[in-house]
Amino acid sequence: MSEQAEVEPRSPTDSLRRLSAFGRRFFLAGGILPLVLVIAIVGFALAEPRFLTYGNLFNVARAASFLVIVSIGQMITLLVRGIDMSIGSTEALVSVCVALVMATVLGFDPDAPWLAIAAGIAAGLAVGAVVGAVNGIGIAVFNVNPFIMTVGMLSILSGVALTVSGGMPMYGMPKQFGEIFAYAAPLGIPAPVLFAAGVFVIMFYILNWTALGRRIYALGGNIVASRLAGISTRLHMVLAYVMCSTIVAFGGILLTARVGTGEATLASTHVLESITAVVIAGVSFFGGIGRVGNVVLGAFFVTLVTNGMNLLRVPSYQQLIVLGCLLILAVVIDQVRIRMMQQVRDE
């Protein structure tokens, strides 16, 4: 007697269970960013027809590039269970120094614009590296809380930038600086987008394919275990902050080219925006968790939201409220995600 295997139909309960399991895996892997990114794009596109035009998306891509670079730097500090509240003032000081050096070189030799540009960029990157070294040494060697250390540096760097500039914009940079680093668009792609892509590729390689990247993740995951494994935790903590501030300095250089002057108040909102971008991208405040690709999407999300609110003529002070709410929401979601990850490990 032959028996035919009967296929039992799936009940609605089984389908819901499978859907719930898929949603859970999706949330643990990517956080809430993909969902809110789609909601933001659809919502602003319906509310404002200009949102998805080529001209607006071109401007969004260029504006997002600066935040992408800064957010990648901020990500590194969060990976080692730190934070950098001084990135905005670092960009401001870099901007002032870049303008001062370029103007000085041109004053000695007006026919050497490329020498002035090279000297200004070198000075800006050096300023960033020094700021990162000071932050890192204070945190790693003297055990100063990262928040306190970088808030203190925020005040110091802002004061130095205002003192050097006298509180006024600094002019005298060669016009080629802005033309190449801010307004050029080879193949229709804004130059800042290409620079941001270069920073992304370099950091993706470092964090995923080098011993330094693995040690940074290990340091954030468990500093005691890292020390017992023979990793020089102090050295790598300092290196993390040097990397962060140097990347941020590069972003400050590009932003200086964009505005065309050295500004002591440059990038005042980048601290809030970068933290929001990296946390909503799934980089954990508890360290050791985060992907640089998600950070790029997080920075674009924050820029898209800001751009959409500008098109809808939302006042700037109300935009700060929205960004603050997004940051709090991102932190709450980070807490939930960490607990779910712990439950998965326990199971």
What percent of the chain shows pLDDT beyond 70? Answer: 90
245: its two tokens: 């501030």
pTM of the model: 0.90
Rounded distance between C-alpha atoms, residue 217 and residue 206, angstroms = 11
pLDDT of residue 207: 95
Q: Would 2 be classed as within a structural domain?
A: no
pLDDT for the residue 347: 62
| Residues 226, 11: Cα–Cα separation, whole Å | 48
CA–CA dist 343, 196 (Å, integer): 37
- The mean per-residue pLDDT over the stretch 26-36 comes to 70
How confident is the model at residue 35, as a pLDDT?
A: 80
User: d(Cα 43, Cα 169) in Å, to the nearest integer?
Assistant: 38
Selection from 12-16, 26-30, 249-253, 337-341 with the highest mean pLDDT: 249-253
Q: Is residue 113 part of a domain?
A: yes
The model's pLDDT over 186-204, given as tens digits with 9 standing for 90+, comes to 988 999 999 999 999 999 9
Query: Does some domain include residue 326?
Result: yes
Residue 29: inside a domain? no
Listed as own residue / partner, the contacts of 120-126 with beta carbons closer than 8 Å and 24 or more positions apart are 120/173, 120/177, 120/253, 121/253, 123/97, 123/98, 124/94, 124/95, 124/97, 124/98, 124/249, 124/250, 124/252, 124/253, 124/256, 125/246, 125/249, 125/250, 125/253
Please name the amino acid found at residue 289. I
The number of C-alpha atoms within 13 Å of 241 and in the hemisphere containing its C-beta is 30
CA quadruple 222, 227, 230, 234: dihedral, nearest 10: 110
Spatial distance between the Cα atoms of 265 and 105, rounded to a whole number of angstroms: 24
Phi, psi of 155 (to 5 degrees): -65, -45
Please answer whether residues 96 and 164 qualify as being in contact, where contact means their C-beta atoms are separated by less than 8 angstroms: yes
pLDDT digits (tens, 9 = 90+) for 311-326: 999 998 898 899 889 8
Tokens of 63: 């504006």
3-state secondary structure 287-344: CCCCCHHHHHHHHHHHHHHHHHHHHCCCCHHHHHHHHHHHHHHHHHHHHHHHHHHHHH
231 domain residue, yes or no: yes
Q: Residue range 275-295: average pLDDT?
A: 89
Tell me what the pLDDT averaged over the chain comes to. Answer: 89
The pair of three-digit structure tokens given for residue 296, joined into one six-digit string = 């790029």
Q: Which domain holds residue 105?
A: 34-45+53-346
Does the structure show a pLDDT above 50 at 2? no
**pLDDT band at 26, cuts 50/70/90?**
low
pLDDT at 16 (0 to 100): 64
Q: Is residue 13 part of a domain?
A: no
Give pLDDT, residue 195. 97
pLDDT at 329: 84
Give the number of domains in the chain: 1
- pLDDT tens readout for residues 55-103: 898 889 999 999 999 999 999 999 999 999 999 999 999 999 999 999 9
Predicted confidence (pLDDT) at residue 20 exceeds the cutoff of 70: no
* 328: in domain: yes
**Residue 91 has which token pair?**
């960009």
In the predicted model, is pLDDT for residue 163 greater than 50?
yes
Task: Determine phi and psi for 170, rounding to 5 degrees.
Answer: -110, 125
DSSP secondary structure letters along 179-244: HHHTS--GGG--HHHHHHHHHHHHHHHHHHHSHHHHHHHHHHH-HHHHHHTT--HHHHHHHHHHHH
The residue ranking higher by pLDDT, 107 or 19, is 107
> Which residue is listed with tokens 């609605």?
12
CATH of the domain at 290: 1.10.3470
What's the average model confidence in pLDDT over 107-125? 95
Closest of 262, 20, 25 to residue 124, by C-alpha: 262
The DSSP string of 118-135 is HHHHHHHHHHHHHHHHHH
Q: Is residue 279 part of a domain?
A: yes
